[in-house]
Structure 1
Amino acid sequence: MPRSGGVKQLTPTKNISSLLDNLLKGYDHKLRPSFGGEPTTVEIDIEVRSMSRISEMDMTYSMDCYFRQSWVDERLAFSDLEEAFTLSVSVLEKLWKPDTFIYNGKQSYVHLITTPNKFIRLYQNGRILYSSRLTINANCPMNLRDFPMDTQHCPLKLGSFSYTTRDVVYRWNKDRQVVIAPDLMLSQFDLIAAPSGDENTTRRAGEFSTLLASFYLQRHMGNFLIQVYGPCMLLVVLSWVSFWLNREATSDRISLGITTVLTMTFLGLEARTDLPKVSYITALDLFVWISYGFIFATIIEFAFVHVFTKVGSGEVYLSHSSSEADSEEDPDEELDPEVRIRESWL
């Protein structure tokens, strides 16, 4: 007895294939929708899956996200089917799509394992949803004056590379603009906000529609408390031990002072290893220099104590007096024996 299920499964496939053939017949992917009329509105939404490689040295950040673009192309509207359907990535080359690029991007790419991570969904009214998984590396100008108690603002600016506002206008999706994955975790920062907005950017070719997203990153303090702040405070307290040492213990005080100064110098240099050579003082630099000042003050204090100890005990005065006394001794001791004999006869 023949199975009728196979025929039912083939019918929708044949319908969709014939529908696509009819839609793409005479379709020119080089022209945008409503060419010569109203500008095409492209709606954008981003779902951030992870963020990494936030570098103060290069002032860049990287994020893995789902990048979705949606627009209406009346040439692809249909009424034969009631539901939207997903198209193969190969069909993308036959359709018009916006030339979206990232203004402050450095090196971004689409994931290709195991196949290109992107898809197209076509709706009945001609709306196209184009989704892809991207890794975006972008510039993030950082102000490190409050480092490491700082909050950084990393922008993301995107728009069309060639279409001005007369042809393409970008808008954030009304239902979702920038969505942060609930399981997103960063090792050194907390992502506390991700506001979004839009603006027009003027370039030589005209005015371009652009979208803006900002990622506010608050730095964790735990690592710096353990590696910098804690050791610096302990070194300052350790330098105060010299106050309880005997003022005559010169070698002990000098050894302790030199050890704390060298260790503080090493901590100060190590704290700036991962920072760019900025021209201003950071909060961490200020703390290290204040700690260094306390340690240096203990060495200056020991120098005063040492000098006044010598003077107070009369050691300086006695050495000076003894040298004068030696010079004022009986001059006969310095005379030649023969001269002394002559003077005795006279």
Structure 2
Amino acid sequence: MKTCVVSALVSWLLLIVSVGQARPEKAANITGLLNGLMTDYDKRLRPSLGGPPLVVKADIEIRSMGPISEKDMIYSMDCYFRQVWTDSRLAFNRSVQQVSNVSLNVKMLERIWHPDTIFINGGQSYLHTITAPNKFFRLNHDGSILYSQRLTIKANCPMHLEKFPMDTQKCPLHITSFGYSSKEVAYEWRFGDKLAVVASRDMALSQFDLIGMPAASSTACFKGTEHSVLTVYFDFRRHTGYFLIQVYVPCSMLVALSWVSFWINREATSDRITLGSTTMLTMTYLALESRDNLPRVAYSTALDIYVLMCFFYIFATIVQFAIVHHFTKYGTAEPMERQPDSEDEDEDSMESELGLTADELDNGVGRQGPTKFSSACPRSLTVALSCLLSARKTRLNKRVRNALGLNSVSKIDRAARVVFPASFIVLNILYWIAYIDLG
């Protein structure tokens, strides 16, 4: 029994020693392999020099996207950008080396040739370097190389904002070689046009939906030389919910608020003017606020048209009251009464109201006979009497005007209560039919 246990332990020790010796031997073989591959290797020369163009295959995996700025007309995304090409000078026999591929440090990349790939419409893009440069480099036995990088790409996107905020945008990303023409380096999508770019399943954008990523390959002329170009278009569809809450609903409520003046007495001039002015100023603030995040384009957007329509209705409400006020005063205005500047004028006013002359007042005699007034009566009493008679006359005139129908509700106001809301609803229906994208 003891003999079996001892033999088992001896066999395990021999196995561990053999594995420990194999690992340094394998590492030594790979080191020798790399040193041998670098012998007479010139990284300044592209693979297959003098032959057909070198094919570089690329693909993109998007981890996150945004922000997308209409004001600067740029978009950004965080992605893995991978390139695959074949360099026959780095091929090796996998049966001899007992490995099929080798993952290497990015320092090795500096010793070999690699494509000078650029993003034509790229902006301030950068490579992630925390906690180390986010690069990956793998060499296969047939000389094919996989080179992966994690990048944040900012690219220009020419946007068309005529239908903003119910618009869709098509933002391109163009990939090509900086120095090699299409006769030297040709670019292709690694998994075809349909799977050229893939997005993470949990990716979400705040204001847009990514509805498509069509890709293609073509050639373009730069400085008289044809270059191979890979292109992918990111199709974005904007969410309108934010703008409905922040702009459309407040503008519509301001227009409806301005219609309250149609139910206010047409003689309450200050009330109706104050309401119209307040709604106009608030509308101006909303209009300026809605343009803050937009570029200064030379054309009007769908949002501008709606705001302008609301402006028109609020302004039309003020003009409508001016018309009502004009026809209300026409033929019914009272003559302006001059305020007495002295006690003599007060006395004259009282005389005209009572139909008395100055002598009659002094003698205490009027048209109805003798009165109790005397020359010793204080003038303040006569002024008070004059005020009472004037107030009575004013109330009498108002009753007369009411009886004649001069203070009734204006027909213009009655028509406006129907015309303004009905026309606004019709214009809203036409507006949404014209701009909303049902597809």
- TM-score, reference length from structure 2: 0.70
Give distance in 2, aligned partners of 1:42 and 1:171: 6
1:155-191 deviation per Cα after TM superposition (whole angstroms, max 9, x unaligned): 1001000101111000011254111111111111111
The letter of the residue matching 1:246 is: N
Q: What is the CA-CA distance between 1:82 and the residue it aligns to?
A: 4.4
Give distance in 1, aligned partners of 2:55 and 2:182: 10
Q: What is the CA-CA distance between 1:81 and the residue it aligns to?
A: 3.4
Aligned 1:10-21 pairs, distance under 5 A? 10-21=24-35
Aligned 1:210-225 pairs, distance under 5 A? 210-225=229-244
Equivalent in 165, 173, 191 of residue 148 of structure 1: 165
For structure 1, list consecutive stretches of 5 or more residues without a partner in the other structure. 321-346
Matched-pair identity in %: 54
Corresponding position of 2:175: 158
Verify: 1:261 aligned to 2:275, yes or no.
no
SS in 2 for 1:280: coil
1:119-142 deviation per Cα after TM superposition (whole angstroms, max 9, x unaligned): 111112111000000111111111
Q: Following TM superposition, where does structure 1 have runs of at least 4 consecutive aligned residues deviating by more than 6 angstroms?
A: none
Which deviates more, 279-288 or 300-309?
A: 300-309
Give distance in 2, aligned partners of 1:112 and 1:141: 30
Q: What is the CA-CA distance between 1:55 and the residue it aligns to?
A: 1.1
Which deviates more, 55-64 or 283-292?
A: 55-64
Corresponding position of 2:305: 286
Corresponding position of 1:240: 259
Give distance in 2, aligned partners of 1:133 and 1:11: 34
Corresponding position of 1:95: 112
What is the count of residue pairs matched by the alignment?
Answer: 318
Cα pair 1:81 1:124 within 8 Å, conserved:
no
Corresponding position of 1:33: 47
SS in 1 for 2:80: strand
The structure where helix makes up a greater share of residues is 2
1:5-55 deviation per Cα after TM superposition (whole angstroms, max 9, x unaligned): 322332332221111111111111111111101110000101111111211
SS in 1 for 2:330: helix
Give distance in 2, aligned partners of 1:250 and 1:11: 101
Corresponding position of 1:62: 76
Equivalent in 256, 259, 271 of residue 252 of structure 1: 271
Give distance in 1, aligned partners of 2:314 and 2:158: 35
Give distance in 2, aligned partners of 1:260 and 1:148: 24
For structure 2, list consecutive stretches of 5 or more residues without a partner in the other structure. 1-12, 337-439
Give distance in 1, aligned partners of 2:198 and 2:102: 24
Give distance in 2, aligned partners of 1:170 and 1:81: 32
Corresponding position of 1:319: 335
Q: What is the CA-CA distance between 1:205 and the residue it aligns to?
A: 4.7
Give distance in 1, aligned partners of 2:209 and 2:124: 24
1:230-258 deviation per Cα after TM superposition (whole angstroms, max 9, x unaligned): 10010011011111111111111011000
SS in 2 for 1:269: helix
The letter of the residue matching 1:53 is: P
The letter of the residue matching 1:214 is: Y
Ranked by relative contact order (alpha carbons within 8 Å, sequence separation 6 or more), the top structure is: 1
Two-structure CA RMSD over aligned residues (Å): 1.5
Corresponding position of 1:170: 187
Verify: 1:43 aligned to 2:57, yes or no.
yes
Give distance in 2, aligned partners of 1:25 and 1:114: 33
Equivalent in 97, 104, 122 of residue 121 of structure 2: 104
The letter of the residue matching 1:138 is: A
Aligned 1:170-209 pairs, distance under 5 A? 170-174=187-191, 176-209=195-228
1:88-119 deviation per Cα after TM superposition (whole angstroms, max 9, x unaligned): 10000011101001111111111111110001
